[in-house]
Amino acid sequence: MDSLLRVSLTSSPVGLRVAGAVLLAGVLAVWLVKPIGDPCPDLARLPQGATATSSPSFSPPLTRTCTYTAAAGVQVRASYVPWLDWVVLVLLAAAAGGAARMLSPGGRTPHRAERTPRAERPPKEARAKRPPRERTAGRDGERDASEREQARRERAERARRES
């Protein structure tokens, strides 16, 4: 299950490309051609004999304009956003992207990747123990220049011995 939650965007961009293409084509089709569901949802509230036509609306974009015509010849326009269609398109795009990722060669990864073993650490007894730090009696715990120089020389000498 943990492999399903792990998503690598750099390993297989094929799925993202397919999902984006499906989403773009679906949005354009729903907006400019015909919605997936009912093109004019308010037609059921009008009196019997009324008709409705649906067309894309460019102001605001991604909406549809419905023109309702009553039996007496009265026309009313209403615009609506096909939210249900957008949700369905997002789910379809995600499914298409996931399928493309799973079918692509870069998307097929083993469930449990083999990890390289860690380097062995020596046991605690074998590790070198450092002596405790010495406290200096300087002003506010500061060392003067000669103490700092002596500490620097000691560190350099230890580094030479260890290498």
Name the residue with tokens 């300087």. Answer: 138
pLDDT at 92: 94
In the chain, where does DSSP find H-type helix? Answer: 2-5, 14-28, 83-103, 145-162
Round to whole Å and give the CA distance between 42 and 66: 9
Among 116, 106, 114, 88, CA closest to 26: 88
pLDDT at 155: 93
Listed as own residue / partner, the contacts of 83-86 with beta carbons closer than 8 Å and 24 or more positions apart are: 84/36, 84/37, 85/30, 85/35, 85/36, 85/37, 86/27, 86/30, 86/62
Per-residue pLDDT of the chain (163 residues; tens, 9 = 90+): 444 445 444 445 888 899 999 999 998 988 888 888 777 877 777 778 888 888 898 888 888 888 888 888 888 888 888 888 889 999 999 999 989 988 887 666 555 556 677 777 767 766 667 777 666 555 555 557 778 888 899 999 999 988 7
pLDDT at 154: 93
pLDDT at 9: 44
Round to whole Å and give the CA distance between 52 and 65: 10
Q: What are the angstrom distances between the C-alpha of 140 and each of 49, 134, 143, 144, 145? A: 95, 15, 9, 11, 15
Q: Would strands 75-80 and 63-69 be described as parallel, antiparallel, or unpaired?
A: antiparallel
pLDDT at 143: 55
Q: What's the predicted TM-score (pTM) here?
A: 0.53
User: Using omega within 30 degrees of 0 as the cis cutoff, is the peptide bond preceding 39 cis?
Assistant: no
